[in-house]
Amino acid sequence: MPVSFLSNEQRESYGRYTGAPSLDDLARYFHLDDSDLALIAQKRGEHNRLGFAVQLCTVRYLGTFLEDPLTVPTQVLHTLAKQLRIAIIPDAHLYSASRQRLQHAAEIQTHYGYVEITERQIGFHLTRWLYAICWTGTDRPTVLFERAVTWLVTHKVLLPGSSTLERYIARLRSRVEERLWLALGRGISSEQQGRLESLLLVPLGSRSSPLDQLRKGPVMVSSRSLVIALMRLHSVRELGIRLPAAARIPATRVAALARFAGAAKVSAILRLPNPRRLATLVAFVHCLEASAQDDGLEVLEVLLRELFGDAIKADKKSRLRTLKGSRSGGGNAGQRLPDVAGHQFAGWRSAHPIVREDST
């Protein structure tokens, strides 16, 4: 992964105002409470009090001190001046060239508990937090960079240089990636590794590798497609790839490697370092087994639905033919029914002699 992953726009906006803060940000970061006002009141001169307030709220909002403290949006100056009950004086820019701004920055850092990222405890907590995010997720480096900046501002840690934070995140991601590759390759025998490597070799007289053939699922529903899907599932299961349970590898990381193997060219996979190539193939085969089984079951389900649907249609047609035949012979059937009823009534009357014919 390249160390420099930030764009020029992101690099220029790092630790700087990119526009006027929103009303919510003004209320959250640029509000001066009683303790702030008491500390600011100790400063001599309106320009010193305004400059101190600007530096205090800037480090709260951006997480760093500006080289020129007063290069802030106009809304920030008006908000702070209104709270300090002073007018924005025309010579306020003199504060930026004075040594007083450096003393104020050191005082703010000490009084409000701002620390450097080089402190041992800070580096340990930040590394552990980011490491967990990298291990369980697949966030891009730029997203990790933004989350790290938010963490630093929240925990009152002064922002380092953008290139320093870039290199730090790049090294951390590399450590996580290497751990993932080693965990996936652990437990794979040399025989299994040879079978996985053979998936990338194109046989003589063929234009596609076994990996390309395994990528292709069924595209139509037929008995031939079902046989091919079952053979594909059998080929995957023959590789005997099982992830080590003790490693507790997140499913999202395995799925990300499998997606790369399913979309990348075989030549690109061959150029990968050995640990990464092996881990990519292991993840692909592991995820492919479930998808190949689902493809086979889906084809089988459609075939059975069509088969039973044809049987139901044939049964309905047979029943319709039977009903038509019974309707066409309806006269004979009507003459037989009274005879049967008469015989039954005669048998009942012989069994009950007390009933007379003239009785009502």
Residues 25-40: tens digit of each pLDDT: 999 999 999 999 999 9
Name the residue among 184, 164, 177 with its Cα closest to residue 137: 177
> 105-141: buried (b, 16+ CB within 10 Å) or exposed (e) per residue?
bebbbeeeebeebeeeebeeebeeebeebbbeeeeeb
From 290, 305, 320, the end of a domain falls on 305
How far apart, in whole angstroms, are the C-alpha atoms of residue 316 and residue 313?
Answer: 5
Shared domain check, 167 and 67: no
15 Cβ contact partners less than 8 Å away, ≥ 6 residues apart:
62, 63, 64, 66, 159, 162
Domain coverage including residue 178: 120-185
Residues 107 and 126 occupy one common structural domain: no
Do the domain assignments include residue 90? yes
Same domain? For 230 and 166 the reply is no
Rounded Cα distance, 100 and 84, in Å: 19
Residues 13 and 65 in one domain: yes
Q: How many domains does the chain have?
A: 3
- Tracing tokens 């690099």 back to the chain, one arrives at 11
Has residue 355 been placed in a domain?
Answer: no
Does residue 294 share a domain with residue 194? yes
Instruction: For residues 194 and 287, state if they share a domain.
Output: yes
Cα dihedral sign, 185-188-194-197? negative
Longest dimension (CA), the chain: 136
Torsion sign over Cα 130, 131, 134, 136: negative
28 and 100 co-located in one domain = yes
What confidence tens digit (pLDDT) does each residue in 105-152 have?
999 999 999 999 888 889 899 999 999 999 988 889 999 999 999 999
pLDDT in tens, 302-342: 888 888 877 777 777 777 777 766 666 554 444 444 444 44
What is the full per-residue pLDDT of the chain (360 aa) written as tens digits? 456 788 888 888 899 998 899 999 999 999 999 999 999 999 888 888 999 999 999 999 999 999 888 888 989 989 999 999 987 766 667 788 888 889 999 999 999 999 998 888 898 999 999 999 999 888 899 999 999 999 999 999 999 999 999 999 999 999 999 999 998 888 888 888 888 888 888 888 778 888 888 888 887 888 888 888 888 888 888 888 887 765 688 888 889 988 988 888 888 988 999 999 999 998 888 888 888 888 888 888 888 888 887 777 777 777 777 776 666 655 444 444 444 444 444 454 455 444 444 443
The answer to the question of residue 324 being in a domain is no
